[in-house]
Structure 1
């Protein structure tokens, strides 16, 4: 009946609004593809002279640093995420119920906010080194202390905020595993550690790999942390070429290199996700009962799970709060109220536009599962793998050319200067956010859409509902929690987004993220703590929702 009902709906396409839905979905996909195509054209049109100069100067340095940062963050997130997920899922120790939720909290922090907090604590004038010199009587050159403003420091900051990706996916995989295979390995003489490495870890490999690849994509997209620590990656190179050297071709070619790497990571994630098909023949058996830990083992488990929460959430909040108290920043001043208004306005508009596009693409794929609709969905998801700096360059290049051509034509024809109509507007910035975060909204929407059975669509159409009527009266009420989650995720991601906002924002239009970056760049860390705390407070909203889901997952 479902197929017959949909065939009737397809025959009425001109009247039921399906063409409009398809138009929105295809336009969103084209917009997502535009930055990548523009970067490719701009990079190739610059010839080989610029890329040769980059190869002779900074290209290999950027490549080596970026790969080293990716390697360090991959290892760090893997170790912390898998270890904590296994302990809170398969063991019991004091505080485990609280820690299984608290381990998600660092996800609310942008990495650059942690960078500001730990620089204030660990830098030469910070409380740690000052106390060390006071206790020992050492001078500045009498001891060695690890430099927080380094590649290792940037990797540590990114690891602390990105390990929850691995933790969430690994924990879900461990919860779904049957204890039969693990117990069989133990019965055959394997130790608990050997059984974990031979059985549990391989079964969870696809989920863990997905989490690590998500962390890698966030790492290559990061700008605030590496820029503040002076680590020269592709992200900082794009910004330097565009703003400091005014080398548009060089920025485009660096963006193309980073885009190629990001798309390779996205392809690897898609391949490993496609192979993640494990069939558990022992699904009828009960899950393995958690092991009760006591004494030293319980204390060790508490330390292993507690340290990421302490260093990734608790300590940064305390440090930022103390820094903010000593600053001269007034959140209630007209200037700061303007920053908050700009941030909330951008995030609100971007969230509404992005979720609307996600609904159009997801519902269009459901109604018309064709190559066109599937292709639109695939292109829309690619934006998440594209760093904000690449998106900014990819949008500014074509629209700046359009603005300049229009202005030249208007001057010649009517002696009127139109200026930058598109390039200098917030709407182009909204488009950048749409490209960057549409995949996240689409994932949240499709997760909820899976709960809406096809029979509901067939019943609605048999009662005379058009596809848009079915969407409005059947799907949207059922999907309200998923859509709210998607809105919050995009809202918070936009609040935290720095590179695209920094490059594309209109003149004299600053946000909390830009203000925090500006103050930190001027070494006014106490001042940077105030907007950073507001960003973190907003970021806790979707994390609390995720924590509730984690609490229900047991």
Structure 2
């Protein structure tokens, strides 16, 4: 049997557990009988329109970048472009290397060894997924910055002055990379652990019998077999890194993401923002292409009944202590310590979570996230069901374009949607003024619905992955039986598929809901006037150096992020 290892582009930042639930399931069998055309044309039209909506931001960025002329791009090349490119590349390299070492090392230890606390750690290692990187940045800056408790205590104990000692600067490229590593390594850990669990012990034991040490056998046998899954996880962390805005903006690290925001809002240079967005889009699409190339070769053969489970090695003494520390430190730094810091910061702040103002932030966040989740999951059902009914060039292309949004940072999507719709609003307003003497203002730009459209484009891959994972459980014979009883395709979807897919769709709704709650760059750029969310409030307070106040909305965001992580932890606990 040939198994395709997981692909990052079908995941969102919280979709990994869906892949685990469907990894061993066979894909749906193609229909033996053609589906009736009742309602199929309308479904095809909706699916194509959804794909077009996902492609619009990318096309708009390309057009706006070239329309802006060459003067702006020349100025960018002479001033900031090379700096943005170098910083972004360094950040990507640091995060990729760090997530690889932490994720693969932890996955190997909890899968192939036994030591005190391993059962708890193999689940707890997933917890940092609940934290946005910018939340960790606020927490650790409060503790490690010059006025923080760590340096203050150091000066009090030693009597040193501010210039008498050296301390690592948290507001730096290295600090931003560390924050991203701590929240992104679980992607590599989850996929590497799944790959290690599926490996048969025969090849590993054969290498040991031929004289290889345990580490040599791991390096020469187990690691190459898990390479496709690990590469997929690392590529996923890289795409999340280039999309990050909150962490790098707060730490003052100049990347493409911060450059887009600065050009759009601070310099009011729309052409410059579009051209920077085009550079970032090109890099993101290159990563998406690399992901598809590595996924196309990511196959291995399962010996089925001859597979032998890998016998775990019992560690004792100092080896067990080292393994516990190696697995415990990422959990401590990525989940436990930030929660403790944020709680103490929140208790010392003047922010009232139950005040009308904060209730408004929560209401705005929940409204945006709820509407975006429903719209995104409905779009995923349309695209996924059309691909199932009519597998072919059109449906496959629509599904592929729909997934591309995940590889595109939120800032790029925001610019790509604002440019064409702002032009539409201005053109319509000018025509109405000249014809009827009426000003229509901005009908689309700055509206909630345009922001919801940006969320749909950004997270449609997550919902589509969850839907397709559940769809694998719906056998083609069910469709044939429904058709033989006279059901239309839409009736089959409503009466057969949706009842079976309810758990998967609820999971997709929850994942998109939480991702929207945490999304920062698109919300900052596109939100309606005076319509702030928890993420925006946390960013604003942190930008004003009111870190204790920023802890309150950050804790609410983390609490919401724990919901899908609990689902992942439950699945991880059942893996053995």
Which range, TM-score by smaller chain? Answer: over 0.9
- 2:49 corresponds in structure 1 to 27
- 2:80 corresponds in structure 1 to 58
Structure 2 distance, partners of 1:35, 1:283, is: 49
Q: For residues 36-63 of structure 1, what are the alpha-carbon distances to aligned partners after superposition, in whole Å with 9 as ceiling and x for unaligned?
A: 0000000011121111110000000000
Q: Secondary structure at the match of 1:268?
A: helix
Structure 1 residue 283: Cα displacement: 5.3
Change (3 A) 1:412 1:157: same
Structure 1 distance, partners of 2:331, 2:41, is: 49
8 Å CA contact retained: 1:5, 1:461: no
Q: For residues 103-141 of structure 1, what are the alpha-carbon distances to aligned partners after superposition, in whole Å with 9 as ceiling and x for unaligned?
A: 001001000000000000100011111111111111111
The 5 A counterparts of 1:77-476 are 77-281=99-303, 284-476=306-498
- Between stretches 147-156 and 478-487, larger displacement belongs to 478-487
Q: Secondary structure at the match of 1:236?
A: helix
Structure 1 distance, partners of 2:31, 2:471, is: 21
Structure 1 distance, partners of 2:366, 2:303, is: 50
Report the TM-score when normalising by structure 2. 0.94
Q: Secondary structure at the match of 1:204?
A: helix
Structure 2 distance, partners of 1:477, 1:495, is: 27
Structure 1 residue 20: Cα displacement: 2.2
Q: Which runs of 5+ in 1 are unaligned?
A: none
Q: Count matched residues.
A: 548
Structure 1 residue 5: Cα displacement: 6.5
8 Å CA contact retained: 2:30, 2:476: no
Q: Secondary structure at the match of 2:165?
A: coil
Q: Which 4+ runs in 1 deviate beyond 4 A?
A: 2-5
- Between stretches 205-214 and 410-419, larger displacement belongs to 410-419
Report the TM-score when normalising by structure 1. 0.98
Structure 1 distance, partners of 2:386, 2:330, is: 42
Structure 2 distance, partners of 1:6, 1:230, is: 59
Change (3 A) 1:110 1:47: same
Q: For residues 395-447 of structure 1, what are the alpha-carbon distances to aligned partners after superposition, in whole Å with 9 as ceiling and x for unaligned?
A: 00000000000000111111111110000210000000000000011111111
Structure 2 distance, partners of 1:320, 1:27, is: 43
CA RMSD of aligned residues (A): 1.1
Structure 1 distance, partners of 2:520, 2:32, is: 47
Q: Secondary structure at the match of 1:70?
A: helix
Which structure is richer in relative contact order (CA contacts within 8 A, separation 6 or more)? 2
Q: For residues 66-124 of structure 1, what are the alpha-carbon distances to aligned partners after superposition, in whole Å with 9 as ceiling and x for unaligned?
A: 00000000000000000000011111111111111110010010000000000001000
Structure 1 distance, partners of 2:557, 2:290, is: 32
Structure 1 residue 264: Cα displacement: 0.4
Q: For residues 119-176 of structure 1, what are the alpha-carbon distances to aligned partners after superposition, in whole Å with 9 as ceiling and x for unaligned?
A: 0010001111111111111111100000000000000000000000000000000000
Q: For residues 346-386 of structure 1, what are the alpha-carbon distances to aligned partners after superposition, in whole Å with 9 as ceiling and x for unaligned?
A: 00000000000001111100000010000000000000000
Q: Which runs of 5+ in 2 are unaligned?
A: 1-28
Structure 1 residue 280: Cα displacement: 3.5
